[in-house]
Structure 1
Amino acid sequence: MVSVAENAGSKPDAAWGAVLSMALCVAMLIASEFMPVSLLTPMAEGLGATEGQTGQAISISGLFAVLASLLITTVAGTLNRKWVMVAMTGFMLLSLALVAAAPNFAVLMIGRALLGICIGGFWALATAVIMRLVPESDVPRALALMYGGQAIAAAFAAPIGSYLGGMFGWREVFWALTPIVAINLVWHVIALPSLPARQKQDFRAMFDLLKRSYFLRGLMACMLSWGSAFTMFTYLRPFLEQVTGVDVTALSILLLLLGCAGFIGTWAAGRFLKGNVAPFLKLPALVMGGATVGLLLFGFSPIAAGLFMMIWGAMNTMFSVIWMTWMSQNADDTPEAAGSLMVAAIQTSILLGAVVGGLLLDGISIQATFIGSVVLAVLAFVLIGNGQRMLKSA
């Protein structure tokens, strides 16, 4: 690690080992949060629940992530941020164990609630922690390294999860994650330096930010876009099984295609997302909503389904970059308050998307779930327009 730091022109005390530990934590968080997507059907069967009910395992983690993201910096107060991060990883480890051993639906939901606390707390503090681990000039590189964990998990967690779940069972998939998270927890303890609290989050900063009409509009558009995405994504497996008619192997391949397409989206975001972000804001709703329409019309064909899933997956990774860039440009004077609000907004959307999609699936059909996703995408597209009303200079 020292040689990497020196080659990057870093100071000798740059904590690159800690950055890598954060990247692993991101990968495990993403894998843990969305693993039920690839295991939805067998989890529902194993717990004696419907697929719509089991989908709420994602919504409950979203609910607690919202609460944690808004409260973590206040509740943590003067606690050393190193030990807050260690505690968040401990919650993830406990969550995985509870989910893997869950004898019933109630225990599953408790485990997912603990994961939600970890998700909200981690993401609300992650960027601020990274900024303290390396010199200012190395922060972009460190952030890219940390988000690399997200890209890897998005590409491989779902297909590997569905494949191993078919071979060994869904509980074994969650058990398999626990030793990795345990190693990550120990790595945090060793690699993270002491990070004394600097300043408590003031709720007034968040309320003041919400009074800015351009930011509130942007936040609402972001929520509609994310809600659309997760109304569809949470119930993708039932669609592929019921409409496309794939087996576990084909399902794993399709999910792998979706995930790997995300690397294309990451490259495209870095290549084309420069300057004025307004024209890009409507792209996630437009492209991902369009891909969902494509699945509704042609999803009976595995080849067509794979194509539209790749389009969806590529835009999915651009999605975060586009909206986080908007946040950094339009709330640069209060980035911590904006970050807490963005995490809360995104997790609320994941929650609502899973709830609405599950109700439509159980009450009507999987096609109704996907139509609901398209409706939310249309609402987001209309609200965004040309994007200019989302900018502080407008």
Structure 2
Amino acid sequence: MTDTTLPLDGIAVDHDATSATTSWGAKTWLAMLAMLATSFALVSAEFLPAGLLTPMAADLGISEGTAGQVVTATALVGAITALLSNVLIGTINRKAVLLGLSALAVVSNLLSAYATDFWLLLVGRAGLGIALSAFWALSMAVVVRLVGTKSMGRGVAMVSLGVSLATIAAPSMGALISDWIGWRHATAITAGLAGFALLLQLISLPSLPASASNSLGDVLGLTRRRGVQLGMLAILMLMAGHMTGSVYVRPFLEQVTSLSTGMIALVLGGFGIAAVVGTVLAGRLADIDARKTLALTATIMALSALALVLWGASIAAAFVFVASWGLAFGMAPVSLQANLSRSAPDALEGAGSLMVVSFQVAITLGAVIGGYVVDTFSATANMSLTAILAALTLLLALSQRKA
């Protein structure tokens, strides 16, 4: 299990004293900036293929469908890594682990950039999957050790901000850079981003020693806690619901709202901007009450999806309610992580592993179920399912005991 003291700059600080601190000093801000830069670099590399599939497939002599499997490889390896990462690192200093993960991301992205065939590309993407999931499995515990439990929401939000920014920037910038100088150079740039994050970690992160290691039994044992079970179920329902609808929002906007490609880009741009706002907002609210923040997140997502079902033919409604959905999407990772961690404050690394596994399973289920629903029924049915699953998450959040 994790230790109960917070070693900052080599000094063991009492957990309760640190928890009472809500203001951040310059060193804390710099350390959190390093964590944000790391999340941005890793998620940018994860989403980059969305804008590169066509030139990547042509260059390697494979189909676009085959090229798309690089995303599957990242997710599959990531799900396995998330469960085992905190077991395998043992008592290695967590700063050293984070530096190692960033170094792995640099090497993996370079291998992908200069791959001569599909299999080398697949190996590179698998390495990225390890770095990505291991980082997220550790991130919650590291954030608490940097900022204290009273500022956990703000800390998680700052790291999650890298996700929101990367989600907006990576696919579009990747496509532009690929058209300008080629997909390999675009991929190499993500190696540079990971290298920059590594440098920031080296300069700003304090020593983060672990007093004990986690066993697989420790991690799985957390699932016996009622709060952890409910926290994982909330992740599965809300994120599966989100993926069920969001992956197929373009067909909805084309078929129901009858928007052109340019207008769809504007609507999705509003989604991304609102997601950034949601991330910051949830960070503030989660430090006050994580359970209510999750309930608010689920409410906004449920109402947004339901409104699209009822009034999605209106262009104005599409803009407003896709943006409000984006707000909920930005709030979701922060509120879900904060909600789960309430039940395992003594084992945040193990809880982090379960959190990442839950997210990966939810994303996979949502995409698969969403594909079946849109093919069998319609894009409107996907939105209805999103609303239902978000509403069930709201009921789950309200049924949980207060922290």
TM-score category (smaller protein): 0.7 to 0.9
Are 1:208 and 2:218 counterparts? no
Shift of 1:25: 0.6
Are 1:327 and 2:340 counterparts? yes
Against the structure 1 CA distance between its residues 58 and 353, is the aligned structure 2 distance closer, same or farther, given a 3 Å change threshold? farther
For the residues of structure 1 that align with 2:56 and 2:253, how far apart are their CA atoms?
16
Shift of 1:117: 0.9
Shift of 1:210: 1.6
Against the structure 1 CA distance between its residues 377 and 144, is the aligned structure 2 distance closer, same or farther, given a 3 Å change threshold? closer
Q: TM-score, normalised by structure 1?
A: 0.76
Where does residue 314 of structure 1 map in the other structure? 327
Kept after mapping to 1: 8 A contact 2:110/2:187: yes
Against the structure 1 CA distance between its residues 317 and 294, is the aligned structure 2 distance closer, same or farther, given a 3 Å change threshold? same
Against the structure 1 CA distance between its residues 168 and 65, is the aligned structure 2 distance closer, same or farther, given a 3 Å change threshold? same
Indicate the larger mover: 342-351 or 380-389. Answer: 380-389
Query: In structure 1, which of residues 323, 328, 339 is the aligned counterpart of residue 352 of structure 2?
Result: 339
Where does residue 223 of structure 1 map in the other structure? 236
Kept after mapping to 2: 8 A contact 1:160/1:252: no
Are 1:60 and 2:73 counterparts? yes
Superposed CA offset, 1:14-71 (max 9, x none): 46544322221111122222334455676677764456x6655444322222222221
For the residues of structure 2 that align with 1:374 and 1:45, how far apart are their CA atoms?
38
Shift of 1:345: 0.6
Kept after mapping to 1: 8 A contact 2:70/2:125: yes
Alignment of 1:1-394 (within 5 A): 10=25, 14=27, 16-37=29-50, 48-49=62-63, 56-101=69-114, 106-133=119-146, 143=156, 145-165=158-178, 170-234=183-247, 246-247=260-261, 252-270=265-283, 277-278=290-291, 280-285=293-298, 287-288=300-301, 291-292=304-305, 305-357=318-370, 364=375, 368=378, 371-372=381-382, 374-375=384-385, 377-379=387-389, 381-382=391-392, 385=395, 387-391=397-401
Percent identity between matched residues is 32
For the residues of structure 2 that align with 1:303 and 1:45, how far apart are their CA atoms?
39
Q: How many residues align?
A: 379
Indicate the larger mover: 318-327 or 298-307. Answer: 298-307
For the residues of structure 2 that align with 1:355 and 1:112, how far apart are their CA atoms?
21
Where does residue 5 of structure 1 map in the other structure? none
Which ranges of structure 1 fall in alignment gaps of 5 or more residues?
1-7
Which ranges of structure 2 fall in alignment gaps of 5 or more residues?
1-22
Amino acid at match of 1:153: A
Against the structure 1 CA distance between its residues 109 and 380, is the aligned structure 2 distance closer, same or farther, given a 3 Å change threshold? farther
Provide the secondary structure at the position in 1 that maps to 2:328. Answer: helix
Kept after mapping to 2: 8 A contact 1:269/1:322: yes
Kept after mapping to 2: 8 A contact 1:228/1:376: yes
Against the structure 1 CA distance between its residues 66 and 151, is the aligned structure 2 distance closer, same or farther, given a 3 Å change threshold? same
Indicate the larger mover: 321-330 or 269-278. Answer: 269-278
For the residues of structure 1 that align with 2:107 and 2:174, how far apart are their CA atoms?
19
Shift of 1:229: 1.7
